[in-house]
């Protein structure tokens, strides 16, 4: 997500760092358009041209990391699903290409990380972005993924070189970051590459995927920022990498994507002691190189971006988290779909792409076929869009 997205992140080969998705219009097939352009949750217009301008009428925001152009683009999302550039966007990140971003729970600040630093930006009520700390970095850390805890107190950063989750206390008034203890861990295997971290809805546990190193799960105490390792799960084999990661709303299940010889989507139950157990021996089918995974706001559907196929695989979630393919799945995306997120209203699914322009696509839900996606709008944000972070 969470990276969760998420997972969340520069473009990479099959077992390398996760990528994100783009949405060139030539890739939108008939299976992405619903009759009448109606939505499962509302009835937006059929405008798929995207937006431009200052974000007038936007109810929430999307921030897209462009690793190729070293920028972050901010866009307002209107109630009709149009995308409009925000004032102060795009942001240039000069030290090295950005890899991830996160919005605070009060939607006041945006944090952007790269291979060496974290930068901060204030978000006005109209979505305008203003650099914090005079544009200088707020912290020094190698960022692979980053998430804000549900209570808004902490920024967690998955460190790609330090074998750690770096923890920062967030000043809710100024956006300043204060370094806390975090947690160090040893890489469990040769070829370990950190990909995504995901915090459960209660803010009491955090999981991280480490590619060929499998997964690690910690409990988290938000009152003091303390971590306790609960379990480690090895990768299924030496040619399969654990990648995308997302919790369900109950915090009792984790949805995990894997790339390599055993690629696909699995669902894991989470025991009270942190033990992770697949709910079935079957691996749910996805497209090639499934990277990020996200659940919709109702918890009824799960979606996976497939970087190699430029598609989105969708499943309905049933009893005991059993999955059933959604009608029309897989859905077409832009070239190299790698990052997915749900907007705060629950009306829209957003996907970023690394391989073409337009590179951000907004999908609605088909009223006649629950869970089925169709394209509402798209826009170009920069070069190699590899991560999308959304307001809350």
| Rounded (10°) CA dihedral 149, 151, 155, 156 | -30
| pLDDT attached to residue 59 | 58
| pLDDT attached to residue 376 | 97
| pLDDT attached to residue 251 | 96
| pLDDT attached to residue 153 | 98
Tokens linked to 35 = 């009759």
CATH architecture for the domain at 25-390:
7 Propeller (2.130)
| pLDDT attached to residue 16 | 36
| pLDDT attached to residue 70 | 94
Handedness of CA 33, 34, 38, 42 (dihedral sign): negative
DSSP 8-state symbol, 278:
E
Q: What is the maximum alpha-carbon separation in the chain?
A: 53
The set of residues, in sequence order, having a beta carbon less than 8 Å from that of 125 and lying 6+ positions away, is none
Give the residues of the chain that fall short of pLDDT 70. 1-59
- Terminus-to-terminus CA distance in the chain, angstroms? 13
Check: CB of residue 145 under 8 Å from CB of residue 160.
Answer: no
- 3-state DSSP call for residue 3? coil
Q: Identify each DSSP E strand in 153-299 by its residue range.
A: 154-159, 164-170, 177-179, 183-184, 192-199, 205-211, 215-221, 226-233, 240-247, 253-260, 264-270, 276-278, 290-295
pLDDT single digits (tens) 68-120: 889 999 999 999 999 999 988 999 998 899 999 999 999 999 999 999 999 99
* Burial (CB count <10 Å: 0-12, 13-18, 19+), residue 151: exposed
pTM, entire model: 0.85
User: Any idea where the domains of the chain sit in the sequence?
Assistant: 25-390
Q: In the chain, how many H helices and how many E strands?
A: 0, 32
d(CA 137, CA 117): 6
């Amino acid at each position: 997500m969470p990276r969760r997205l998420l997972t969340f992140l520069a473009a990479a080969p099959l077992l390398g760092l996760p990528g994100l998705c783009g949405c060139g219009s030539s890739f939108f097939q008939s299976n992405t358009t619903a009759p009448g352009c109606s939505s499962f949750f509302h009835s937006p217009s059929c405008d798929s041209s995207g937006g431009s301008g200052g974000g007038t009428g936007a109810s929430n925001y999307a921030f897209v990391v462009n690793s190729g152009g070293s920028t972050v683009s901010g866009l307002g999302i209107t109630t009709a699903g149009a995308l409009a550039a925000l004032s102060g966007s795009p942001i240039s990140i000069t030290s090295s290409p950005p890899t991830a971003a996160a919005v605070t729970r009060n939607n006041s600040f945006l944090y952007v990380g790269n291979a060496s630093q974290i930068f901060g930006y204030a978000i006005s009520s109209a979505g305008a972005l203003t650099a914090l700390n005079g544009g200088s970095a707020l912290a020094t850390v190698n960022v692979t993924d980053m998430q804000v805890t549900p209570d808004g107190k902490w920024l967690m950063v998955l460190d790609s070189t330090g074998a750690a989750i770096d923890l920062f206390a967030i000043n809710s008034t100024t956006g300043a970051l204060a370094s806390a203890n975090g947690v160090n861990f040893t890489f469990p295997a040769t070829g370990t590459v950190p990909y995504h971290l995901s915090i459960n809805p209660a803010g009491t546990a955090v999981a991280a995927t480490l590619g060929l190193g499998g997964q690690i799960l910690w409990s988290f105490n938000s009152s003091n920022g303390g971590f306790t390792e609960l379990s480690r799960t090895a990768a299924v084999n030496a040619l399969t990498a654990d990648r995308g990661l997302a919790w369900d709303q109950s915090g009792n299940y984790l949805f995990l994507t894997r790339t390599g010889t055993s690629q696909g989507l699995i669902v894991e139950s989470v025991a009270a002691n942190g033990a992770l157990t697949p709910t079935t021996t079957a691996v749910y089918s996805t497209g090639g190189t499934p990277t990020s995974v996200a659940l919709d706001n109702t918890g009824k559907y799960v979606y996976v971006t497939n970087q190699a196929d430029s598609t989105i695989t969708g499943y309905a979630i049933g009893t005991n988290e059993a999955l059933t393919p959604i009608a029309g799945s897989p859905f077409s995306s832009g070239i190299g779909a790698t990052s997915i997120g749900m907007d705060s209203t629950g009306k829209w699914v957003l996907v970023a792409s690394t391989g073409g322009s337009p590179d951000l696509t907004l999908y609605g839900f088909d009223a006649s076929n629950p869970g089925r996606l169709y394209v509402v709008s798209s826009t170009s944000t920069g070069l190699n869009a590899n991560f999308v972070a959304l307001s809350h």
